[in-house]
């Protein structure tokens, strides 16, 4: 995935990892950034986990890999400042390796 032109991430390349359970498409895939370049974003932790509601509670079987990618591009594109989530250090030290096992708290619409 590439950062969209005219955004803070223009020209940057990112790699996403998708893992699908046997219940897909009724169960959302596990999606996270991987590789050397994890985007610095208020909803992306330094371990690659993404806080995005369509990856958990707002998932619908009508969504596709393409719609997930478009949502992530949109999330990155609307960002006004490159920074990590405030609880990044604590979360990365204590989280489950599977981001789907995290109980996310969707607390803002700033990015």
Residues that are catalytic: 51
DSSP summary character for residue 13: B
Q: Output DSSP code: residue 77.
A: H
Residues 6+ apart with CB under 8 A from 74: none
Q: Distance between CA atoms of 58 and 40, rounded to whole angstroms?
A: 24
């Amino acid at each position: 995935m590439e950062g969209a032109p005219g955004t803070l991430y223009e020209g940057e390349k990112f790699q996403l990892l998708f893992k699908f359970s046997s219940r897909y498409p009724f169960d959302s895939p596990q999606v996270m950034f991987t590789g050397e370049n994890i985007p610095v974003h208020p909803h992306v932790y330094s371990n690659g986990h993404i806080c995005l509601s369509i990856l958990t509670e707002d998932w619908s079987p009508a969504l596709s890999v393409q719609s997930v990618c478009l949502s992530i591009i949109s999330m990155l594109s609307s960002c006004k400042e490159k920074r990590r989530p405030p609880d990044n250090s604590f979360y990365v030290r204590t989280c489950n390796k599977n981001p789907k096992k995290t109980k996310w708290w969707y607390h803002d619409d700033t990015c």
